[in-house]
Structure 1
């Protein structure tokens, strides 16, 4: 089943993938959903696309893919695990059901408190009482109107009647389309040459990836591409809120710079980076970073990857909220998936889509757009059917963890899953401190510093 689904993804994206060898030792996570299939297919598709670049074989282990889907649970700094959820984030019973609030960022927390008529600094008990006196949809509406993040628990039927569901229904899981006017002649691999295909080379050696993402799905996509050899430059700003542990755990192999896009100089530098990139990955709400759309339209040969929560017309959201909105977490109380499955699956599928588009660019030329959404991934997970009613947590991480020194301390992390030509991908550098690097590509930085 897994190998067939990977082949179908390749066909949908317009590329031919090598046959993927799938190994399954029976590892499972406690969910009736086919999480193991979603993990193996998404990781396997990215692995196969990288293998296609090199003309070699691909392999994926179900166990390794499942461990990768839980990587934030295994991540440690000097043996300590950081907090993944803020105090007010979570599920709350309402007058007619359940609602989930996402309050990991202070501005989202403050928006939720204002929406509920609570004072800043209110505790979880106050939020519980405020939610209990309102309907789930009322809480969702009030919070989202104030630019916060919330999702009422819907039934699958209620979700199918939602306009956002109708938007993503019937669209490809990974949509790869050519951009009109994006140039006609085939490009080399990558745009400016590179070492892919040479002895010992990695699939994405020389490929420049501009990372404009936050939280899990987008950073997983770009981290995966870094493991395949890409030069990934993450762009952020010092005033952007982050979840520290997640930022570090998804930054292996990347470099990080800060830009002030409110300034003309910041916008000029961003334009230079977009104009010289092979791939730009965004994971923001629709309409955000519109300047990138304008720049991308002027950049021939660019692969633009867009990851959203609910599709191109939906609002902001996160994995746990999409699980509630789509009915994936259905139950009383809600029963979320045993990992951030939508985030991780979408991340690996985005890496697959980016590489598929690069393969299309190499063969056909042009600029390409890749679109994915957490909501479409949730629909796909549902379409995979059900497995065991509720299997035990049968997952062992032995052999899947590595250690690396960094500016933050000694890191314990999940190794990249999959095998390309019999070799496991890997990162050549630890996560950097945010904003530690210049806003230039690695080869330019090396020339400036005199490094060969």
Structure 2
């Protein structure tokens, strides 16, 4: 049975916080197709509010991790032949969750911090407000400069970008950068986002989608599937499940990272032509293997097709439609395997959701925070003209990653019980909409206090934003030492955050540290 480890004190005593966690668990369960066995009996131990914020970020984090544990327990019971009403007790430690949601801040390689943001990944003042830019990747920096007419020969491109943005309206900066293939968002308040066409499109969507891809009445539908391999000797619920990981950056890799911890054979496949930030791979790569394949090359395409033929799950983190030309849409993935049982589970996650004018737009956690009104909500009463704030963690990335893992586990349970192929869909913006909607239910109370977030100060990180002054003191700094481990890796001595869940009798960490990006053969174990 999944549970957090190690425990850190008694169950939380804050009734309001506990209620929000229970309600968010129930909301997520409904979005994923229905109640999980045992969801009303989840216990949260440790300080209630460990991620200080004006929004209920601590509840978001704890609920997202709890839903993974519930979904894992449900799949274990299904594969063991237990009835759908069986539910094992689940305990989540708030400190373990907070450490996991800030895992990149605690990452150390030979004792040195690995986090860092490009100077252009920042809020910049425009003529009429603020804009958020993203420049962590070289091609995004180049597109920013091109959009603003800044030559490559400029000696200080950061200063030049700042100066150019200061002369333009925020939405014009947004439009120019996006038109050049870059990433930017004008900072909007929540009312502005609700009026925006993309905000209106998301308001009509649930937190997540889980749907069957094949005809319910097709031959073989409704009959139990015969899956590859039973639950292993450790009781790992996803043992024997093959996951083809087509995700990048943070949200998707976090989802597949927890699937690897739960026993899945996860193979990440990247194009050798796309850059990756080494620290991100070190943080999200434990337990997985990694291969390079260029789908434009016939030999690589053949190897990829062989992987697809026996994959149980495909998780894609690219923009909607970006991989359709390779026959990788959810419907195409199902239809290319006629008569094969069990079917395939396809998970798609994106920045802005599957519909609306921004569906195909690039985006990252910080950009979604800026556009949806989270940044203005977190600004508080700032003395410097209302500089936007940020959440105390990259919470949209992390929560969406854990929800993706939970959705995959739920779909695997449905596949086991009913056969068929299944599609699950999530996005950072849908998670943001969920978080903002919960704010309306907090009676105006902040989620925590200004202060160290999950030991970020001792880890050399930045807490990242402001929270409401005068909120309850139960969000005081916690140490992360109980949830850290150090191991040798190909890159050096790696200190990292342990998984926030534990399978009873199973390992406390992943089967192996991150391997070099692209170093694994494109084959299943």
- Structure 2 equivalent of residue 6 of structure 1: 25
Cα-to-partner distance string for 1:379-399 (whole Å, 9 max, x where unaligned): 111122244375133332120
- Structure 2 equivalent of residue 69 of structure 1: 101
Q: Any residues of structure 2 matched to 1:35-434 within 5 Å, and which?
A: 35-55=57-77, 56-120=88-152, 122-181=156-215, 184-188=221-225, 191-192=227-228, 194-196=229-231, 198-290=232-324, 291=326, 292-293=328-329, 294-299=332-337, 300=340, 301-313=343-355, 314=359, 315-330=361-376, 331=379, 332-385=386-439, 386=442, 387-388=445-446, 391-393=449-451, 394-421=477-504, 425-434=508-517
Measured after TM superposition, the shift of residue 422 of structure 1 is 7.1
Mean Cα deviation higher: 223-232 or 265-274: 265-274
Measured after TM superposition, the shift of residue 423 of structure 1 is 5.6
Instruction: Give 3-state SS (helix, strand or coil) of 1:399's partner.
Output: helix
Measured after TM superposition, the shift of residue 419 of structure 1 is 3.3
**C-alpha contact 1:58 1:421 (8 A) present in aligned 2:** no
Unaligned runs of 5+ residues in structure 1 are: 443-452
Q: TM-score, normalised by structure 2?
A: 0.80
Measured after TM superposition, the shift of residue 63 of structure 1 is 1.8
**C-alpha contact 2:32 2:407 (8 A) present in aligned 1:** yes
Q: Hey, what's the Cα distance between the residues in 2 that align with 1:29 and 1:18?
A: 26
Measured after TM superposition, the shift of residue 58 of structure 1 is 2.2
Q: TM-score, normalised by structure 1?
A: 0.93
**C-alpha contact 1:282 1:305 (8 A) present in aligned 2:** yes
Measured after TM superposition, the shift of residue 215 of structure 1 is 0.5
Measured after TM superposition, the shift of residue 124 of structure 1 is 1.4
Q: Hey, what's the Cα distance between the residues in 2 that align with 1:423 and 1:273?
A: 28
Mean Cα deviation higher: 151-160 or 260-269: 260-269
**C-alpha contact 2:108 2:494 (8 A) present in aligned 1:** yes
Q: Hey, what's the Cα distance between the residues in 2 that align with 1:12 and 1:132?
A: 42
Task: Rate the CA distance shift 1:186–1:410 in 2: closer, same or farther, 3 A.
Answer: farther
Mean Cα deviation higher: 1-10 or 152-161: 1-10
Task: Rate the CA distance shift 1:377–1:424 in 2: closer, same or farther, 3 A.
Answer: farther
Mean Cα deviation higher: 4-13 or 88-97: 4-13
Q: Hey, what's the Cα distance between the residues in 2 that align with 1:8 and 1:165?
A: 20
Unaligned runs of 5+ residues in structure 2 are: 1-18, 78-87, 380-385, 452-476
Cα-to-partner distance string for 1:277-305 (whole Å, 9 max, x where unaligned): 11111111122111211334323511100
Mean Cα deviation higher: 150-159 or 395-404: 395-404
Cα-to-partner distance string for 1:394-431 (whole Å, 9 max, x where unaligned): 33212011111110111100000023347675201110
**C-alpha contact 2:315 2:347 (8 A) present in aligned 1:** yes
Task: Rate the CA distance shift 1:218–1:99 in 2: closer, same or farther, 3 A.
Answer: same
Instruction: Give 3-state SS (helix, strand or coil) of 1:172's partner.
Output: coil
Cα-to-partner distance string for 1:246-278 (whole Å, 9 max, x where unaligned): 111100000011101111222222222122111
Counterpart pick for 1:32 among 43, 51, 54:
54
**C-alpha contact 2:56 2:447 (8 A) present in aligned 1:** no
**C-alpha contact 2:411 2:424 (8 A) present in aligned 1:** yes
Cα-to-partner distance string for 1:38-87 (whole Å, 9 max, x where unaligned): 00000000111112222333221122111111000001111111243123
Cα-to-partner distance string for 1:120-142 (whole Å, 9 max, x where unaligned): 25421111100000010000000
Task: Rate the CA distance shift 1:352–1:390 in 2: closer, same or farther, 3 A.
Answer: closer
Matched length: 439
**C-alpha contact 1:418 1:424 (8 A) present in aligned 2:** no
Q: Hey, what's the Cα distance between the residues in 2 that align with 1:51 and 1:281?
A: 21
Task: Rate the CA distance shift 1:424–1:160 in 2: closer, same or farther, 3 A.
Answer: farther
Task: Rate the CA distance shift 1:311–1:229 in 2: closer, same or farther, 3 A.
Answer: same
Cα-to-partner distance string for 1:175-225 (whole Å, 9 max, x where unaligned): 111113486254546x32x231x5423011000000000000000000010
